[in-house]
């Protein structure tokens, strides 16, 4: 199998089967090696300014590194995507309001994409849930619990003309919810009670789901 890589847009890789992607990997790596140095310099310059702005809680400094049509994805948005600088401004402001002492640090090796200008960054986040999330961009507008937490995740960044155009963050929301006191631990009686209630209600939920499926046919 031979796949032409030259000029291939990163989004087209999403349509490949696993066999096609494996077969294309040598060409993908060769293409990446040819531009790796320039990309590394670009990421170094952007990352240093990005980390400094976050460390200093410099909102305008963060937004200066972001494209006007930036897209942001986060588990706390429940599948919704935010677009534009104004939306990202609310995200950053809410983060610093809810977690005023927040600190991020690398927790692993960053990974550069073999196509496009993407980078995946494993991180560690430590903070106190001391401020209200209500009124922010996330529907998870919960009140502060005063609990400290220590969690890990991965950010995927994409740049366009040296500015952040797409930012997708992933973290274990279940673990975070337990640490800040939103959910009980999995071995507690309250958690086990919730499981039993779910099992009791599951037959009704299945019946409602089948009814809706028939109604849509």
Domain boundaries, the chain: 10-183, 184-217
The answer on pLDDT for 11 being more than 60 is: no
Residue 168's pLDDT band (boundaries 50, 70, 90)? very high
Q: CA-to-CA distance for 52 and 114, rounded, in angstroms? A: 27
Tell me the C-alpha distance between 165 and 67, whole Å: 5
pLDDT: which is higher, 134 or 150: 150
Structure-block tokens of residue 155: 């950010």
Q: Sign of the CA dihedral 41, 42, 44, 45?
A: positive
Question: How confident is the model at residue 90, as a pLDDT?
Answer: 95
Q: Sign of torsion, CA 47 75 73 129?
A: negative
pLDDT of residue 39: 83
Asked if the model's pLDDT at residue 103 lies above 60, the reply is yes
Is 10's pLDDT higher than 70? no
**Confidence at 52, pLDDT banded by 50, 70, 90:** very high
Structure tokens at 71: 């897209």
CA-to-CA distance for 147 and 180, rounded, in angstroms? 5
Give me the residues paired with residue 160 across strands.
163
Read off the pLDDT band of 9 (50, 70, 90).
low
What percentage of the chain carries pLDDT values higher than 70?
94
* Partner residues linked to 112 by β-bridges: 119
> How far apart (Å, rounded) are the C-alpha atoms in residues 129 and 102?
9
CA distance 80 to 83: 10
Mean pLDDT of the residues in the chain: 88
Phi, psi of 111 (to 5 degrees): -125, 125
The answer to whether residues 191 and 165 touch, using CB atoms and an 8 Å cutoff, is no
Residue 18 banded pLDDT, cuts 50, 70, 90:
confident
Its pTM stands at: 0.81
Hey, is 35 helix, strand or coil? helix
Indicate the range of 30-34, 202-206, 207-211 predicted with least confidence. 30-34
Give the integer Cα–Cα distance in Å for 179 and 177: 6
Q: Tokens for 101, please give them.
A: 């002492």
Name residue, tokens 């077969």.
23
Q: Which CATH number fits domain 10-183: 3.20.20.80, 3.65.10.10, 3.10.450.50, 3.40.470.10?
A: 3.10.450.50
């Amino acid at each position: 199998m031979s796949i032409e890589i030259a000029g291939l847009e990163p989004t087209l890789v999403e349509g490949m089967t696993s066999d096609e992607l494996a077969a294309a990997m040598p060409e993908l790596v060769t293409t990446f090696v040819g531009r790796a140095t320039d990309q590394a310099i670009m990421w170094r310059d952007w990352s240093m300014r990005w980390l400094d702005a976050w460390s200093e809680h410099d909102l305008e400094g963060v937004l200066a590194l972001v494209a006007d049509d930036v897209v942001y994805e986060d588990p706390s948005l429940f599948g919704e995507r935010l677009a534009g600088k104004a939306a990202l401004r609310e995200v950053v402001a809410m983060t610093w309001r809810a977690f005023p002492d927040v600190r991020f640090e690398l927790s692993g090796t960053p990974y550069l994409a073999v196509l496009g200008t993407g980078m995946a960054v494993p991180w560690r986040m430590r903070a106190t849930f001391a401020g209200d999330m209500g009124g922010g961009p996330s529907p998870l507008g919960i009140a502060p619990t005063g609990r400290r937490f220590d969690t890990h995740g991965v950010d995927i960044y994409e740049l366009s003309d040296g500015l952040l155009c797409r930012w997708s963050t992933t973290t274990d929301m279940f673990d975070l919810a337990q640490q800040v006191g939103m959910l009980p631990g999995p071995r507690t009686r309250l958690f086990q009670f919730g499981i039993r209630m779910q099992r009791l209600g599951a037959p009704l939920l299945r019946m409602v789901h089948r009814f809706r499926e028939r109604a849509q046919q």
